[in-house]
Chain A
Amino acid sequence: MAFKYGVLLFLFWFLLSGHYGLLLLGLGLASVALTVFLMKRMNVIDHESYPIHLSAHMPAFIVYIMREIFSANIDVIKRILLPGSNPISPQMLELPLPQKTDLGRVIYANSITLTPGTVSVNLDKDTILVHALAKETADELATGKMASAIPDYSVGQEGR
């Protein structure tokens, strides 16, 4: 686990660096080793900090979220520029959290915030409090379409 994580971090260094001399690669290895050591001490190497098991589902999700972001942006822009025909009606709504893993919940909450028009305000054990800009956006979120698009697999049941 820690080793694979280190490989990932070294990839990050490699992409940042742009200098591939022996000295700098060695320093990179040392840096990554130090980082992994610190991470071990911090106790944060787990499947949340290292969500590689979701990678198979990521492309579909990214395409989905990009489309959502686009349409949500258009909607909010309309509400800014044409407040007459698209009035705002701020709502607070509490939604259930169908995700089983913490990571899935976080991705869901962040996706809600990423699409303008909805901001997740509070995250509880199994509900999420959302502030929505208008009734329509709130209704659309309440249908649960977005919730079902979130990749939510714990390590045992990944579909790789």
Chain B
Amino acid sequence: MNNLILRVVSKILIPLIIVFALYVQFHGDFGPGGGFQAGVIMSAAIILYALVFGLDAAEQVIPSTLLRVLASMGVLIYGGVGLVSLLFGGNYLNYTVLASNQIAGQHLGILLVELGVGITVFSVMLIIFFAFAGRGRI
């Protein structure tokens, strides 16, 4: 898009949106937020980039193959945390065994699980957007 104002303002805003999304991701323990919201906000930042600078530019920043890998990786991180806790002798997705005491283990587990959720939501939202936006392109 050839709109100068939009280009400059998006340049200023996109990094702020991304940092904010990551803040939401990691502060889900204390206030409202968590992986689901963070993934959506982060993908909104990339969607803004794609709308303003063109879809091709956005696909160069985050290639679709990488997105597909990330989407599966998020689910794998989630499942993997469960598996690791199984290996450590706990129940599936019981994070208590991940660290020396219960609080630390739970905290670590929740952090990792939320990370997996965030990655999956982010990449699936972007996959969906790229599919819609790229349709009809030859």
Chains A and B touch (C-beta atoms under 8 A apart)? yes
Question: Hey, what's the 0/1 contact readout for A87-122 against B, CB within 8 Å counting as 1?
Answer: 000000000000000110110011000000000100
* Nearest A residue to B24, CB-CB: A16
Are the C-beta atoms of A103 and B15 separated by less than 8 Å?
A: no
* Nearest A residue to B53, CB-CB: A42
Partner of B8, one of A16, A32, A38, A103: A103
Are the C-beta atoms of A48 and B8 separated by less than 8 Å?
A: yes
Are the C-beta atoms of B8 and A106 separated by less than 8 Å?
A: yes
B26 within 8 A of A: yes
The answer to whether A31 and B8 touch (CB under 8 A), given A39-B15, A123-B3, is no
B133 within 8 A of A: no
Partner of B30, one of A13, A19, A41: A19
Q: For A103, list chain B residues within 8 Å (CB).
A: 8
B28 to chain A minimum Cβ distance, whole angstroms, is 12
Q: For A35, list chain B residues within 8 Å (CB).
A: 15, 18-19, 22
A49 within 8 A of B: yes
What size tier do the contact residues of chain A reach? 20 to 34
B30 to chain A minimum Cβ distance, whole angstroms, is 6
Are the C-beta atoms of B11 and A34 separated by less than 8 Å?
A: no
Are the C-beta atoms of A17 and B23 separated by less than 8 Å?
A: yes
A156 to chain B minimum Cβ distance, whole angstroms, is 19
B56 to chain A minimum Cβ distance, whole angstroms, is 13
Q: For B22, list chain A residues within 8 Å (CB).
A: 13, 27, 31, 34-35
Are the C-beta atoms of A41 and B27 separated by less than 8 Å?
A: no
The answer for the CA separation of A46 and B11 in the assembled complex, in Å, is 9
The answer for the CA separation of A46 and B16 in the assembled complex, in Å, is 15
Q: For B27, list chain A residues within 8 Å (CB).
A: 17, 19, 24
B103 within 8 A of A: no
Q: Which of A16, A34, A36, A105 has the most CB of B within 10 A?
A: A16
The answer for the CA separation of A46 and B15 in the assembled complex, in Å, is 12
B14 within 8 A of A: yes
The answer to whether A110 and B23 touch (CB under 8 A), given A9-B15, A49-B12, is no
Q: A5-B15, A49-B11 are in contact. List 4 more A-B contacts (CB 8 A).
A: A12-B16, A17-B23, A48-B8, A120-B5
Q: List 9 A-B contacts (CB under 8 A).
A: A12-B19, A13-B19, A16-B20, A19-B27, A31-B23, A31-B25, A38-B15, A39-B15, A110-B5
Of all A-B residue pairs in the complex, the 7 with the closest CB atoms, nearest first, are: A31-B22, A49-B11, A106-B8, A44-B11, A27-B26, A35-B18, A41-B61
